[in-house]
């Protein structure tokens, strides 16, 4: 059985760890504060589908107690990765697979892309190159997360919907490490397809996030309001079309059209985006990975993004004014 650690066992990481533990796959989790204390005292509790599951992963605050792992799931917000590097280093050996379960454009994005993009670094998400150096893209497996969950109380995860964790190698190959992890996730009752073109799926998720998240932070509107108010919906649609032009210039294939993607968001209903939730709680916003990086990539391919650029600057200021 491979060793597996979830670093940042908050809502999504806790959901993942609980499902794996419940299925008999031993998991270590790195956490802190009351959440860690509750897991150590009473276990990690998952409420999902009307069922309560109590699991007992190994929960620590000091990663040196665990040592190098076969798989390390990173379930942090993108802007939290660089500050976490000192803690991550003890978990990562030369054969460790780093599973990048983060939103937006990841630091590894350009690995395996054709010239002139191959090997370039996305400065919006990795301004100093620290992530690329400490979390080698060659050891990284891409992961797109779909579940929605929250920490209902310290040590208690409430799972709302979704059970898919799409996996993919940056170079599109079907590796044994991806296949092994897929089987472990499937055995835990999760969907874990291995995608040869993970960037296509990454962009479909990012497509909505890059528009709905900042617009919600600027207006405090939930998804039903944004999609139902014609003026707001027009702004979101224009941003998404700009994003689609960037993705396609980089070789991405969009499997659905923009209106179907907006309809999917509308069907979620009265939901606060993660960026709006973070704003209300006074937390840092994932602005750069979700929108800043897209505007940066637009410059690489000479695609104009006037609306996205304006919204990006407004959102940066909104966050700064909230401290």
> Which residue out of 191, 205, 260, 272 is catalytically annotated?
205
State yes or no: is 260 an active-site residue.
Answer: no
Beta bridge partners of 201: none
Nearest to 85 by CA among 136, 151, 21, 34: 136
Measured distance CA(271)–CA(246) in Å, rounded:
27
**Number of Cβ within a 10 Å radius of residue 283:** 16
* Preceding omega of 232 cis (within 30 degrees of 0): no
CA quadruple 48, 54, 60, 63: dihedral positive or negative?
negative
Sheet holding 148-153, edge to edge: 51-55, 44-48, 156-161, 148-153
Q: Are 180 and 194 in contact (CB under 8 A)?
A: no
| CA 115 distance to own-chain centroid | 26
Q: How far apart are alpha carbons 271 and 214 in whole angstroms?
A: 14
Q: State CA 13 to chain mean position distance.
A: 11
Catalytic residues: 205
């Amino acid at each position: 059985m491979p060793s597996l650690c979830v670093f940042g066992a908050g809502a999504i990481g806790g959901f993942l760890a609980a499902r794996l533990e419940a299925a008999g796959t031993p998991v270590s989790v790195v956490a802190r504060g009351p959440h860690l204390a509750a897991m150590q005292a009473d276990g990690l509790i998952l409420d999902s589908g009307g069922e309560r599951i109590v699991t007992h992963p190994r929960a620590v605050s000091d990663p040196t107690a665990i040592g190098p792992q076969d798989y390390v799931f990173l379930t942090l917000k993108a802007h939290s990765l660089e500050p976490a590097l000192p803690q991550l280093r003890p978990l990562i050996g030369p054969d460790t697979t780093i599973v990048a379960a983060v939103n937006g454009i990841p630091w590894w994005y350009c690995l395996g892309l054709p010239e002139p993009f191959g090997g370039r670094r996305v400065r919006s998400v990795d301004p100093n190159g620290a992530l690329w150096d400490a979390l080698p893209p060659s050891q990284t497996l891409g992961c797109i997360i779909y579940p929605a969950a929250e920490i209902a109380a310290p040590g208690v995860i409430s799972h709302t919907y979704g059970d898919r964790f799409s996996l993919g190698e940056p170079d599109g190959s079907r590796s044994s490490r991806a296949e092994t992890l897929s089987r472990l996730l499937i055995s835990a009752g999760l969907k874990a397809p291995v995608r040869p073109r993970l960037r296509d799926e990454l962009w479909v998720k990012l497509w909505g996030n890059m528009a709905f998240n900042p617009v919600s932070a600027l207006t405090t509107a939930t998804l039903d309001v944004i999609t139902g108010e014609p003026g707001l919906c027009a702004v979101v649609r224009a941003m998404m079309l700009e994003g689609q032009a960037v993705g396609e210039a980089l070789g991405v294939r969009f499997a659905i059209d923009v209106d179907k993607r907006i309809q999917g968001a509308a069907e979620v209903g009265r939901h606060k985006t993660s960026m709006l939730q973070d704003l209300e709680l006074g937390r840092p916003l994932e602005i750069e990975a979700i929108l800043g990086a897209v505007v940066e990539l637009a410059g690489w391919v000479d695609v104009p993004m006037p609306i996205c650029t304006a919204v990006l600057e407004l959102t940066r200021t909104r966050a700064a004014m909230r401290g």
